[in-house]
C-alpha cells in the first residue's frame, strides 16, 4: 500500500512540475512576444495630413513602453490606399505606450496608448505641416562670427 501511495505522490509531483514548466515557458514566450495572444495587444491607425486629410506614406511610427521599436507606414489594401500602421506589442494593463508619428516636413505628434492583451487599440494621427521646413537647415548654416 505504501508503495502505491509513494508512486502516486511521485506521479502527482511530476505532473505539477510539468504543468509549472509549461506555465513558465508560456509566460516567457509571452514576454518575448511569441505565440501568446493573451499577453499581446495591437495598436493600429492611420497617418494623415491635418490640413488636407491625405495619407502620409513616408511617416514613421515609433513606440516605447514595455516594448520599443519603430516601423515605416505601409499602404493598406483600400482604393486609394491609406497610410496604415499596425504593430503587435506586449500588453500592459497599467502602463501606456508612447506612440509617435513623424514624417519629413511635418510636426511630429504623439499619444499615450494603453495596450491590453488580446485587444486592438486604435490611434490615428493628423500631422500639421511645418510652417518653415527649411528652418533647421538655416540654423545649421548660420556663419560664425570672427573676432
* Residue span of the structural domain in which 101 resides: 37-129
Nearest of 75, 132, 68 to residue 97 by alpha carbon: 68
Q: What is the residue-averaged pLDDT of the chain?
A: 77
Checking if the pLDDT of 70 tops 80, the result is yes
SS (H, E, C) 66-97: CCEEEEECEECCCCCCCEEEEEEEECCCCCCE
Q: Tell me: the pLDDT tens digits for 39-60?
A: 899 999 999 999 999 999 999 9
**Local confidence band at 18 (pLDDT 50, 70, 90 cut-offs):** very low
In the chain, how many domains are there?
Answer: 2
Instruction: Determine, yes or no, domain membership for 144.
Output: no
Same domain, 41 and 83: yes
Strands 120-122 and 40-49: parallel
- Residues 2, 24 within the same domain: yes
Closest CA to 115 of 93, 132, 136: 93
Residue 137 belongs to some domain of the structure: no
**Three cell numbers at 145?**
562670427
pLDDT band at 14; cut points 50, 70, 90: low
CATH of the domain at 76: 2.60.40.1120
- What is the model's pTM? 0.63
Positive or negative torsion for Cα 52, 55, 116, 65: negative
Residues 108 and 63 in one domain: yes
Buried residues in 89-104 as b, exposed as e (16+ CB within 10 A): bbbbeeeebebbbbbe
Q: Are residue 31 and residue 44 in the same domain, yes or no?
A: no
What is residue 134's predicted lDDT score, i.e. its pLDDT? 55
Looking at the structure, tell me whether residues 103 and 54 fall in a common domain: yes
90 and 48 in one domain? yes
Of 72-76, 86-90, 93-97, 111-115, where does mean pLDDT reach its minimum? 72-76
Task: Identify the three-state secondary structure at position 58.
Answer: coil
- Specify whether 15 is located in the same domain as 57: no
Q: What percent of the chain has pLDDT over 70?
A: 63
Task: Give the model confidence (pLDDT) of 91-110 as tens digits.
Answer: 987 889 999 999 999 999 99
Amino acid at each position: 500500500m505504501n508503495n502505491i501511495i509513494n508512486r502516486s505522490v511521485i506521479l502527482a509531483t511530476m505532473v505539477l512540475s510539468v504543468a509549472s514548466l509549461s506555465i513558465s515557458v508560456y509566460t516567457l514566450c509571452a514576454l518575448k512576444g511569441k505565440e501568446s495572444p493573451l499577453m499581446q495587444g495591437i495598436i493600429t491607425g492611420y497617418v494623415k495630413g491635418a490640413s488636407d486629410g491625405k495619407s502620409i506614406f513616408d511617416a514613421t511610427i515609433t513606440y516605447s513602453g514595455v516594448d520599443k521599436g519603430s516601423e515605416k507606414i505601409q499602404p493598406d489594401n483600400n482604393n486609394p490606399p491609406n497610410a496604415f500602421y499596425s504593430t503587435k506589442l506586449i500588453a500592459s494593463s497599467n502602463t501606456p505606450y508612447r506612440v509617435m508619428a513623424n514624417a519629413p516636413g511635418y510636426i511630429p505628434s504623439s499619444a499615450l496608448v494603453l495596450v491590453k492583451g488580446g485587444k486592438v487599440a486604435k490611434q490615428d494621427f493628423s500631422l500639421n505641416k511645418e510652417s518653415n521646413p527649411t528652418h533647421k537647415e538655416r540654423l545649421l548654416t548660420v556663419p560664425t562670427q570672427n573676432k
